[in-house]
Chains A and B, each alone.
Chain A
Amino acid sequence: MPTISVDKAALFKELGREYTTEEFDELCFEFGIELDEDTTNTERPIVDGVQEPPQLKIEIPANRYDLLCFEGIQLMLNIFLGQKPLPEYKLVPPPSGELQEIIVKEDTTKIRPYVSGAILRNVKFDEARYASFIALQDKLHQNLARQRTLVSIGTHDLDTIQGPFTYEALPPKDIKFTPLNQTKEMDGEELMTFYEKHQQLGKYLHIIRDSPVYPVIYDSKRTVCSLPPIINGDHSKISVNTTNVFIEITALDRTKLEIVNRMMVTMFSQYTAEPFTIEPVRIVSDHNNETRVTPDLSPRVAEAEVSYINQCCGLELSAADISSRLTKMAFRAKPSANKPDIVEVEIPPTRADVLHQCDIMEDVAIAYGFNSLPRSFPSKSGTVAQPLPINKLSDIIRVEAAMAGWTEVLPLILCSHDESFAWLNRKDDGNTAVKLANPKTQEFQVVRTSLLPGLLKTIRENKSHTVPMKIFEVSDVAFKDVTLERKSRNERHFAAAWYGRTSGFEVVHGLLDRVMAMLKSAFIIGEEGLENSATAESQYFIRELDNPTYFAGHAATIHARIGGKEHVIGQFGILHPTVLEKYDLKLPVSTLEINIEPFL
């Protein structure tokens, strides 16, 4: 969620009163934004001998692009408080009637196919407004535009350039200009090298760097306005004194392109000579049927059902009441003339978050006040309360192990490849472990295929504990399984480890016997026991195992015969000294690990 910093005094002036921190926090809470911090009583930075005035840091929901700047926050809160009317945004062509044009060349489809534009005429900036104008572009670039990949904005002093403009895609070598705040002219290739190490811009170069053509916007005199999405030209740069601002926006995503355009112009047309007027720009782009006039500021008219809104909110509001409450949330709404259950809602260009009538329903609930809604208690249910069978089985084993004097631990599920394989003297056959593509550390390379690494690491970190240590875990491991939709499956395991001055081999063996007894599984001796069909439904036996994880002659596989079907459910043994060395363990360790799923 983005956090926006606004000048406290300026905001309270716009809201027409002072608020205590608590009062303002309460207002934010009701409206659905969150006051993160009021810096009044904190140490604030001093720049050029002037201390920063107190700021309010406000967290904004990720889909409310109209609240990403001071202008939006003050306007929407004022509307919510009923102190300001809904603005009516107007497209006003220049007196000549001739719209500025951006002519799009077909080659742009190879790199960044969409462009949109708008002009703010006779805009009046001051230091704060200008800073906010720059900051909004930055916020939009970071959030909605996904670090400029999807959309990027260029703003220009229209009085320094001359339309019609062209949007082209050219080989880097052929694009020559002086980038913003630089003195030297460079071509596209030189520019990439120049900005390679740049703290802010370096991270955007990859978006176009390897393309044979770069997107570029020229004015009619072949002045480079911008090289989207990297940087503008120095020639047309804006300042606090600029009065006519040309905004061009390029994009890969057409929907987000127009959202960005609407946000820029609706927020900053507050400062044009006649507030909320915007001069449109014609986009000429016949090759992809994108010839049009931008921005489109006409509200979208949606229908919302009165019965649906009332049902979800548990209210019985009239269509008229709903309509008037919606004004607080910046909608124009009225009961439909001919459909009694319908409210017609004009969704303003500022509200890109409204997709469905459920979004309108939520705004009715916010306007009414979440905490004032009539409470009820849902009492119908068709389900019978019950645990997941594998979890119930796990709990039985967990409780039995703890009652037998063992301590439950909860290590992590992700581990390194070595911990899973090499350190246990196990080989990775490539068909076992689920491997991660993008872990931030080596600790998280694979999903564990055994519970042993977690147990052994827990012992390693607890060496100051008295010995013997007896620990266990009942949890899932995961394996690759290409036959399934998700190409992997979990398996529920029970594992235990002993660490002490003796090997503990018989002790883990005894724990196995105890758990088996509690699962009504009878011990039989070797396979001959199978013929002698014991009384129990379930039987188990063990066989000596020769395996490099364990000390020779002191390991076994565990076989279970459940309902006549035989499973190899696991192993136990004294860990091999080389395993102990890898895990930095100084005393003997015996472990037990079984798959408990056959006992379901």
Chain B
Amino acid sequence: MASDMTAPILDALSASDAPLLSNEAFPSTPSSNIKSALDRLGSRQFIEYETIDRDVFTLSAEGAEIAANGSHEAKVFNAVVAALDGLKISELPGIVGKDSAKVGQGNAFKRGWVKKDADKLRATTETIVDETRELLLTVQRTKALSDSKALADLKRRKLVAVTKEITYKFSKGPKYAREFVKEETDLTPEMLASGSWKTAELKAYNFNAKGAHTTSGALHPLNKVRTEFRNIFFEMGFEEMPTNRYVETGFWNFDALFVPQQHPARDLQDTFYIADPLVADAPREDPPEDPHRLKSLTTNTDAKPLDYKQYWENVHEVHEKGKFGSIGYRYPWNADETLRLVLRTHTTSVSAYVLHQLAANPRPARFFSIDRVFRNEAVDATHLAEFHQIEGVIADFGLTLGGLIGFMEVFFAKMGIHQLRFKPAYNPYTEPSMEIFGYHDGLGKWVEIGNSGMFRPEMLESMGIPKNMQVYGWGLSLERPTMIKYGVNNIRELLGHKVDLNFIESNPAVRLEKN
């Protein structure tokens, strides 16, 4: 424990009202001791102080040696003079030392103090001025040197070192007193018990500093946005779909959605295919013990049993020859292609599965999901091979396009987007298809925020959904609105193992309806 300097400081100040310098008042006390006492007194306004720091030059070990005994070249000169009739070069290291002989000889030549005469050195002058030593002595005395060029040279030769010297200039403060009464730093149970709180003076609180750091856990920012979206869906009456299936069949991921088998989305370039296991089964009923089956659909007693074989045949026919009022794509439909396994490219595969379940007892219904999807894309700042898809589905009899627009306006208003417009677009499984654009106040422009549409009759009627029932579907990614909202430019800063834990820990709570 360092000695407490508070009393000496108060004593020193008692003599005068003029400021004092710490290095004069307490030349031998370490500055850290003085600092802590000054801080303690300063925070209670006993004193005021300022910090003065300046560069101080001191001699290195070699510099100190030269200051004491002369420079290498002076030692050489003196040795040569002492030899009277010249000095044999080979004898020099023995007299002045190896290091001095090497450096000093060269410098002595350069200064013209000695010359070479066969194997001997001879002096060319009688007296010399040892400048280096003189300079170093000045530094040693004053801790400074006015000739900055010479000083730089000494520093370069490592004869002089620089250190910072901190001095405190302190004077009486508004609450100066000769005696330092230590204030209490905090209210304690002892103070409460003894009643000393009545007279105690608490140390003034620093209202300019932050409080004590709170350690805490954190939820991931993307999942916090996900929670907001889930709440929006729940507020609007949606049931969550079982998306816990990363591996899908070509049937559910593509064919059931009326995506033709030559569609570019089915290319190896875009979709991850599975090598092991290799081939799926044709669609069939889920095992009854599967705990993830949608209860609202599977426990319904009015439901008629689903005919999976018929469904398969309908899909086959509507692609190959057309059915349900459609001329179809008119190509030979390949069962092998539909039984290939893929990593789902969208959660719409699950929507198809759920809508097929709904066909057992068609009635107005609302479903949603938010989960991971996979695309075989090259990774860059805006693309990852994985991202989250938000998907909503509304089924009802007699739905209109204006109803979809009206619904989207309410849905997006809940996340703070109040101006929407809709662009006709193409999607193999929705018709009409609408791209949703929202006006972004911050960016000052229209931004594409999602896709929507009414599922095609080819898809729905194949399942057994009646012709007069329409189904809206819409989707957006979870990452894109999150990136726009929080100004994240690189998706890899948001999802995956390269995300900065500090970002997760410091990301504020998510309130989508606010900016």
User: Which of these binds chain B: A42-50, A174-182, A278-286, A360-368?
Assistant: A360-368
Chain B neighbourhood of A485, CB < 8 A: 249, 280-284, 286
A488 touching B277 by the CB < 8 A rule?
yes
B400 touching A311 by the CB < 8 A rule?
yes
B401 touching A388 by the CB < 8 A rule?
no
A386-B239 contact given A404-B217, A469-B501, CB 8 Å threshold: yes
A80 → B minimal CB distance (Å): 11
Contact partner of A311 among B287, B398, B500, CB < 8 A?
A: B398
Contact with B along A502-529 (1 / 0, CB 8 A): 0000000000000000000000000000
Contact partner of A398 among B219, B274, B406, CB < 8 A?
A: B219
User: Which of these binds chain A: B69-77, B136-144, B370-378?
Assistant: B370-378
* Chain A contacts with B in 452-467, Cβ cutoff 8 A: 454, 457-458, 460-462, 465
Chain B neighbourhood of A388, CB < 8 A: 240-244, 292
A461-B497 contact given A355-B326, A377-B406, CB 8 Å threshold: yes
Alpha-carbon separation in the docked complex, A492 to B275 (Å): 23
A409 touching B504 by the CB < 8 A rule?
yes
Alpha-carbon separation in the docked complex, A43 to B152 (Å): 54
User: Which of these binds chain A: B57-65, B90-98, B191-199, B421-429?
Assistant: B421-429
Supply 10 further A-B pairs (C-beta < 8 A) apart from A436-B275, A488-B274.
Answer: A362-B424, A366-B432, A376-B402, A387-B240, A407-B217, A411-B496, A435-B276, A440-B377, A444-B272, A462-B500
Chain B neighbourhood of A435, CB < 8 A: 274-276
A383 touching B432 by the CB < 8 A rule?
no
User: Which of these binds chain B: A56-64, A239-247, A553-561?
Assistant: A56-64
A312 touching B400 by the CB < 8 A rule?
yes
Whether A138 is near chain B, meaning CB under 8 Å from some CB there, is no
* Chain A contacts with B in 371-414, Cβ cutoff 8 A: 371, 373-378, 380-391, 395, 398-399, 401-414
B421 touching A355 by the CB < 8 A rule?
no
Alpha-carbon separation in the docked complex, A25 to B244 (Å): 41
Whether A370 is near chain B, meaning CB under 8 Å from some CB there, is yes
Whether A439 is near chain B, meaning CB under 8 Å from some CB there, is yes
Could you list some 19 contacts between A and B, CB below 8 A?
A62-B264, A314-B400, A356-B458, A373-B400, A376-B403, A377-B403, A377-B410, A385-B234, A388-B242, A403-B217, A409-B497, A410-B495, A411-B496, A413-B374, A435-B274, A436-B274, A476-B244, A486-B247, A488-B247
B406 touching A358 by the CB < 8 A rule?
no
Alpha-carbon separation in the docked complex, A480 to B386 (Å): 20
Whether A438 is near chain B, meaning CB under 8 Å from some CB there, is yes
Alpha-carbon separation in the docked complex, A384 to B363 (Å): 13
User: Which of these binds chain B: A28-36, A128-136, A330-338?
Assistant: A28-36
Whether B222 is near chain A, meaning CB under 8 Å from some CB there, is yes
Alpha-carbon separation in the docked complex, A477 to B79 (Å): 85
B272 touching A370 by the CB < 8 A rule?
no
User: Which of these binds chain A: B23-31, B180-188, B327-335?
Assistant: B327-335
Alpha-carbon separation in the docked complex, A377 to B401 (Å): 10
Residue of B nearest to A482 (CB): B277
B425 touching A61 by the CB < 8 A rule?
yes
B244 touching A377 by the CB < 8 A rule?
no
Whether A150 is near chain B, meaning CB under 8 Å from some CB there, is yes
Alpha-carbon separation in the docked complex, A398 to B220 (Å): 10
Whether A426 is near chain B, meaning CB under 8 Å from some CB there, is no
Whether A161 is near chain B, meaning CB under 8 Å from some CB there, is no
Whether B322 is near chain A, meaning CB under 8 Å from some CB there, is yes
Residue of A nearest to B468 (CB): A311
* Chain B contacts with A in 365-400, Cβ cutoff 8 A: 365-367, 372, 374, 376-379, 384-386, 394, 396, 398-400
Chain B neighbourhood of A356, CB < 8 A: 324-327, 431, 456-458
Contact with B along A424-454 (1 / 0, CB 8 A): 0000001001111111110010010000001
Whether B230 is near chain A, meaning CB under 8 Å from some CB there, is yes
Interface residues on B, range: 35 or more
Q: Interface on A for B, CB 8 Å cutoff?
A: 1, 29-32, 34, 61-64, 143, 146, 150, 253-256, 300, 311-314, 353, 355-359, 361-362, 365-366, 370-371, 373-378, 380-391, 395, 398-399, 401-414, 430, 433-441, 444, 447, 454, 457-458, 460-462, 465, 469-471, 476, 478, 480, 482-490, 492, 597, 600
A405 touching B376 by the CB < 8 A rule?
no
Residue of B262, B385, B400 most packed against chain A (CB within 10 A): B400
Whether B268 is near chain A, meaning CB under 8 Å from some CB there, is yes
A312-B283 contact given A402-B218, A440-B376, CB 8 Å threshold: no
* Chain B contacts with A in 230-251, Cβ cutoff 8 A: 230, 233-249
A437 touching B274 by the CB < 8 A rule?
yes
* Chain B contacts with A in 459-511, Cβ cutoff 8 A: 470, 472, 495-502, 504-505
A385 touching B237 by the CB < 8 A rule?
yes
Contact partner of B220 among A1, A409, A439, CB < 8 A?
A: A409
Chain A neighbourhood of B406, CB < 8 A: 375-378
Closest 4 pairs between A and B when the two form their complex, measured CB to CB: A32-B424, A314-B400, A61-B426, A457-B497
A146 touching B220 by the CB < 8 A rule?
no
* Chain B contacts with A in 249-308, Cβ cutoff 8 A: 249, 262, 264, 268, 272-277, 279-284, 286-287, 291-292, 296
A362 touching B218 by the CB < 8 A rule?
no
Alpha-carbon separation in the docked complex, A470 to B456 (Å): 48
Q: Interface on B for A, CB 8 Å cutoff?
A: 215-220, 222-223, 227, 230, 233-249, 262, 264, 268, 272-277, 279-284, 286-287, 291-292, 296, 322, 324-331, 341, 343, 363-367, 372, 374, 376-379, 384-386, 394, 396, 398-407, 409-410, 421-426, 428, 431-434, 454, 456-458, 470, 472, 495-502, 504-505
Chain B neighbourhood of A380, CB < 8 A: 364, 396
Chain B neighbourhood of A440, CB < 8 A: 376-378, 385
A255-B280 contact given A386-B240, A492-B244, CB 8 Å threshold: no
Contact partner of A146 among B216, B262, B274, CB < 8 A?
A: B262
Chain A neighbourhood of B223, CB < 8 A: 398, 408, 410
A361 touching B291 by the CB < 8 A rule?
no
A447 touching B497 by the CB < 8 A rule?
no
Chain A neighbourhood of B242, CB < 8 A: 388, 390
Chain A neighbourhood of B433, CB < 8 A: 362
Alpha-carbon separation in the docked complex, A490 to B220 (Å): 22
A412-B247 contact given A314-B401, A382-B364, CB 8 Å threshold: no
Alpha-carbon separation in the docked complex, A513 to B247 (Å): 33
Alpha-carbon separation in the docked complex, A413 to B385 (Å): 10
B273 touching A437 by the CB < 8 A rule?
yes
Residue of A nearest to B284 (CB): A485
Chain A neighbourhood of B233, CB < 8 A: 385
Chain A neighbourhood of B218, CB < 8 A: 402, 407-408
Chain B neighbourhood of A362, CB < 8 A: 424, 431-433
Chain B neighbourhood of A382, CB < 8 A: 363-365
Chain B neighbourhood of A490, CB < 8 A: 244-246
B272 touching A436 by the CB < 8 A rule?
yes
A398 → B minimal CB distance (Å): 6
Alpha-carbon separation in the docked complex, A385 to B241 (Å): 11
Alpha-carbon separation in the docked complex, A142 to B272 (Å): 22
Residue of A382, A389, A490 most packed against chain B (CB within 10 A): A382
Chain B neighbourhood of A470, CB < 8 A: 217
B420 → A minimal CB distance (Å): 9
Chain B neighbourhood of A488, CB < 8 A: 246-247, 274, 277, 341
Contact partner of B277 among A376, A381, A434, CB < 8 A?
A: A434
A476 touching B217 by the CB < 8 A rule?
no
Chain B neighbourhood of A353, CB < 8 A: 426
